[in-house]
A = this chain, B = another copy of it.
Amino acid sequence: MDRFVSTFTNKVDAKGRVSVPAPFRTVLERDGYAGGIYCYPSLDAPALDAGGERLAKKIDGLLAGLPDYSDERDQLSVALYGDVQVLSIDGDGRIVLPQSLRAHADIGTEITFVGLGDKFQMWAPERFEERRTTARAKVQQHRKLFAAGSGHSDEDGGGGARE
């Protein structure tokens, strides 16, 4: 298992700490965990994107093609590196989300962790529910395209959540 899957909802305590779901921590360790997870506001959703080294390398890759000292590169770097926060995971598997990130995702006392394969997202549970609803509708629309191959079609998205 080397990908982030499933959704989990955990509580934010008085000090702003949240437990990263254990399965996600496992993935992070295999991913070459180097002192922290990379986290940044999602560009087009009230959510946070996060991941380990693999995600960091991906960001590097995006910039790799651009020439040094170009205005172009500097600008993209601001958004790609400047918006990133490195969150350290404490001994109990918890992180603390800075105020700025929490604001972007409208996060209060609970956080929903959503596995997306290479990375995962963090949502305010209410926001995620809205999104999940519309996402399902989209899946329905496109189902024919997927349908052909595997007889196994468990797409309900509720999978594995311990709730």
Contacts and interface: CB of A to CB of B under 8 A. Distances in A.
Contact of A117 (B69, B83, B117, B162): B162
A131 B83 CA distance: 12
Interface string A88-107: 00000000000000000000
A76 B159 contact: no
19 contacts: A1-B86, A5-B84, A5-B86, A43-B71, A43-B140, A43-B143, A43-B157, A44-B157, A45-B74, A62-B69, A79-B135, A80-B139, A82-B115, A82-B116, A82-B132, A114-B160, A117-B162, A131-B158, A136-B160
Given A7-B160, A78-B131, A116-B156, 11 more contacts: A42-B155, A58-B150, A62-B69, A62-B146, A76-B142, A77-B116, A79-B132, A82-B116, A116-B162, A138-B161, A139-B161
